[in-house]
Chains A and B, each alone.
Chain A
Amino acid sequence: MTAIVSKPALSERSKFIRRLLRRKTVAFGLIVLTIFVLLAIFAPLIAPYSPSKLSIINRLKPPGGTFIFGTDEFGRDVFSRTIYSARLSLLVGAAVVTLSAIIGVTLGLVAGFFKQFDAPIARLIDAMMAFPDILLAIALVAALGPSLTTVIIALSIVYAPRLARIVRASTLVIRELPYIEASRALGISTRHIMTRHVLRNLLSPILVQGTFLFASAMLAEAGLSFLGLGVSPEIPTWGTMISAGRQYIGQADWMTLFPGFAIILSVLSLQMVGDGLRDLLDPRLRKDL
């Protein structure tokens, strides 16, 4: 008699993670992102020098030897600064995604669920989306004064309507489904229906869009810092590093190249993960892109 040994059934979540990681681009993106996050968290342990340590005798040293990414105009180690910059760049991205998700999801849910609020919120979203993202962020930063907090608030205001539009559209569809009607008939409160029944079904598109917003926010932050309208130039972010490197690009192009590569690599990884998530999570959005 042969014993039948059955493998324990994989949970839905494990199956999903397996399918996700089977995609090479997603696996690559996740590995790169994990490395960036680890670099950001353990920056003080990994960076060979302090990001602000000046050393005039070592100024504008090309990459190689003790300074693998070279040094900047003040003799600061570009490698250490690139690693420390990951902290702020990732922090801005994460904060913007969180804040814009809170604003966008609330607006989208309310507009999609309550007919009386739909038209005003939908028009407001249209109007907000008429402004090019960087330009609106610039205007908000100009009004509020440049600082890290302002940049996060400004970019969250800029990106929240994008999420709100998606959440609203999906809520309008879900609202009409029979199980929502059934929930109402059972006397479940509107708040409960919105948070437990509607929002739960919206997590996939929110997650996908959130990944792309993370990438957009990182690019926008770099752009604002490059223009001198973001965080203070003394604080190392990839944008401020490129901005500082610009003046020395003829004699020390490494000051511009390495932070640029860091932005490209992190944004590319986020896009790869976002694409993979979209393909797996939201077949309606799937366009074989």
Chain B
Amino acid sequence: MIRYIFQRLFGMIVVMFLVVTIVFVIVRVTPGDPAAVMLGPDATSQDIADLRTQLGLDRSLGVQYLYYMGQLLKGDLGQSIFLNMPVTSALLDRAEPTFFLTVFSLLIASVIALPIGIYAAYRRGSIFDQAATALAMLAASIPSFWLGLIMMQVFAVRFDLFPVSGYGGPGSSFADRMYHLVLPAFALGIVSSALVLRFTRASMLDVLGDDYIRTARAKGLIERRVILKHALKNALIPILTVIGLTAAVLVSGAVVTETVFGLPGIGNLVVSAVLRRDYPVIQGALLVIAALYVLINFAIDMLYLLVDPRVRY
């Protein structure tokens, strides 16, 4: 098992190295001079030359790459041109809304999807099952930003139940900030629930057909115990994977949802960085989010070892 953990750890390091390289390449494929693009048409040639030196663009690609790797190993993601602060600080400043938006959306998606998915599998082929499957397909077809706009219009503007946008003023309480996340989290959670629902149903269906479920019923266990204790426990592994991977999908959704609701999160930071051509910020955000995804995947694999006694490598 320890050998397996080390193998996975090594694989993760290789993937991380590739992720870092891909990010480096993406920023360098910009046609023309990135420094000139960042500073806009009004910049003087001296400004452009200064920025090129500051970003290390005047050096050869190989040297740039080594320097970039060296800085990363020191935990330095570079300096934001427009915010005039380290990218790490910019990301940390905006991590809270993105983190809580992702967590709440995941909770909402799970609360909606798990019971419906379990019951739909239990009542396979029933009207409830068909309706649940159709609803899941519909939810997966709705763009989260569109649902966000509609929900904002109905629940914030028309019924005045929630704040329209933003994250509370400066110095607002934690509760107030979380209150601002209710609508965005529901918009994102509803759309993401589709994936979790489909997998929960499929995973439960796989398990419900197994012999030990028949045995559990035959020995007279009450149905609720058969479903919740025997079936769900075994169906949980693929469900866990999907919930973990949904977290990554949610980050994508968060980028757009934050823009709709004017939340000062990482998604909003990335979008404004793209519009301002603030490459170090785009590079840093991309790297941190991809790294989180790789870590989540690794954590799920490790969780398998704990949750499923059959998994022994």
- Using a CB–CB cutoff of 8 Å, the interface residues on chain A facing chain B are 123-124, 126-128, 130-136, 138-145, 215, 219, 222-223, 226-229, 242, 246, 249-250, 253, 256-257, 260, 263-265, 267-268, 271-272, 275, 287-289
A41 to chain B, nearest CB (A): 23
Query: B19 contacts the other chain (Cβ, under 8 Å)?
Result: yes
B 97-133 contacts with A by CB, 8 A: 124, 133
Q: Across the interface, do B27 and A143 meet the contact criterion of CB distance under 8 Å?
A: yes
Q: Across the interface, do A242 and B145 meet the contact criterion of CB distance under 8 Å?
A: yes
Q: Across the interface, do B271 and A132 meet the contact criterion of CB distance under 8 Å?
A: no
**Would you call the interface of chain B mostly helix, strand, loop, or mixed?**
helix
Q: Across the interface, do A215 and B153 meet the contact criterion of CB distance under 8 Å?
A: no
A265 to B251 alpha-carbon distance, docked (Å):
25
A sample of 7 more A-B contacts (CB under 8 A), given A131-B290, A268-B138, is A123-B14, A132-B249, A132-B251, A134-B255, A222-B143, A264-B143, A288-B201
Question: Which residues of the partner chain A approach B273 to less than 8 Å between Cβ atoms?
Answer: 142
B226 to chain A, nearest CB (A): 20
The contact of A256 among B18, B140, B149, by CB within 8 Å, is B149
Q: Across the interface, do B19 and A135 meet the contact criterion of CB distance under 8 Å?
A: no
Query: B85 contacts the other chain (Cβ, under 8 Å)?
Result: no
Question: Which residues of the partner chain B approach A130 to less than 8 Å between Cβ atoms?
Answer: 15, 19, 290-291, 293-294, 297
Closest residue of chain A to B250 (Cβ to Cβ) is A132
Question: Which residues of the partner chain A approach B305 to less than 8 Å between Cβ atoms?
Answer: none
The contact of A135 among B141, B275, B286, by CB within 8 Å, is B286
Q: With A227-B256, A267-B141, A268-B138 in contact, do A142 and B282 touch (Cβ < 8 Å)? A: yes
**Would you call the interface of chain A mostly helix, strand, loop, or mixed?**
helix
A214 to B255 alpha-carbon distance, docked (Å):
21
Closest residue of chain A to B129 (Cβ to Cβ) is A288
Query: B180 contacts the other chain (Cβ, under 8 Å)?
Result: no
Give the number of chain B interface residues (Cβ < 8 Å). Answer: 58
A267 to chain B, nearest CB (A): 4
The 5 nearest A-B residue pairs measured at CB: A127-B18, A132-B252, A267-B141, A287-B202, A268-B141
B 10-38 contacts with A by CB, 8 A: 11, 14-15, 18-19, 22-23, 26-27, 29-31
Q: Across the interface, do B18 and A142 meet the contact criterion of CB distance under 8 Å?
A: no
B 223-240 contacts with A by CB, 8 A: none
Q: Across the interface, do A219 and B157 meet the contact criterion of CB distance under 8 Å?
A: no
A227 to B257 alpha-carbon distance, docked (Å):
10
Q: Which of B205, B274, B291 is most buried by chain A, counting CB atoms within 10 A of its CB?
A: B274
Query: B87 contacts the other chain (Cβ, under 8 Å)?
Result: no
Q: Across the interface, do B202 and A288 meet the contact criterion of CB distance under 8 Å?
A: yes
Query: B259 contacts the other chain (Cβ, under 8 Å)?
Result: yes
